[in-house]
């Protein structure tokens, strides 16, 4: 996916509507520990083969990871493919700090790892 483009479109977590379905590009263990309840999970490593699973009706497509680095790379890639993607600044760490909902699929209290 190339180098990180620091000029990718980005928004703060407060700008992500409650009805949005963010694209979470973290790995399976990170997702299981804690994620946004409405998120779509496609790890960055699987994106190219699963790109057809991206919602066609969401503009913009909010992309999120742990802190914003991986998602910035994904946004740069998706923008090159014609997707209206934006990076969620600060990632799931900022999401949780802002008090946005987090759920887990594993045992224990949801956490961002």
Q: Work out how many domains the chain is built from and give that number.
A: 1
d(CA 88, CA 22): 9
pLDDT over 70 for what percent of the chain? Answer: 95
Mean pLDDT of the chain: 93
d(CA 52, CA 55): 8
Contacts of residue 66, defined as CB under 8 A and 6 or more positions apart, other chains included, come to 26, 30, 91, 92, 93, 112, 113
Structure-token pair, residue 90: 């600060």
pLDDT of 2 above 80: no
102-110 average pLDDT score: 90
45-65 average pLDDT score: 94
70: domain range? Answer: 13-97
8 located within any domain: no
pLDDT of 91 above 90: yes
Identify the pLDDT of residue 49: 97
Catalytic residue set: 65
Identify the pLDDT of residue 106: 76
17 located within any domain: yes
48 located within any domain: yes
Identify the pLDDT of residue 1: 52
For residue 85, what is the domain's CATH number?
Answer: 3.40.250.10
- Could you identify the residue written with the tokens 């490593």? 45
d(CA 51, CA 82): 12
109 located within any domain: no
């Amino acid at each position: 996916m190339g180098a990180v483009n620091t000029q990718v479109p980005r928004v703060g977590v407060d700008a992500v509507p409650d009805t949005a379905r963010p694209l979470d590009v973290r790995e399976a263990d990170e997702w299981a520990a804690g994620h946004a309840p409405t998120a779509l999970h496609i790890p960055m490593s699987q994106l190219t083969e699963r790109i057809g699973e991206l919602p066609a009706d969401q503009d913009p497509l909010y992309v999120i990871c742990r802190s914003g680095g991986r998602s910035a790379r994904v946004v740069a890639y998706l923008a090159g493919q014609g997707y209206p993607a934006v990076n969620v600044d600060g990632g799931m760490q900022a999401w949780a700090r802002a008090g946005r909902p987090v759920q887990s699929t594993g045992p224990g209290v949801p956490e961002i790892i």
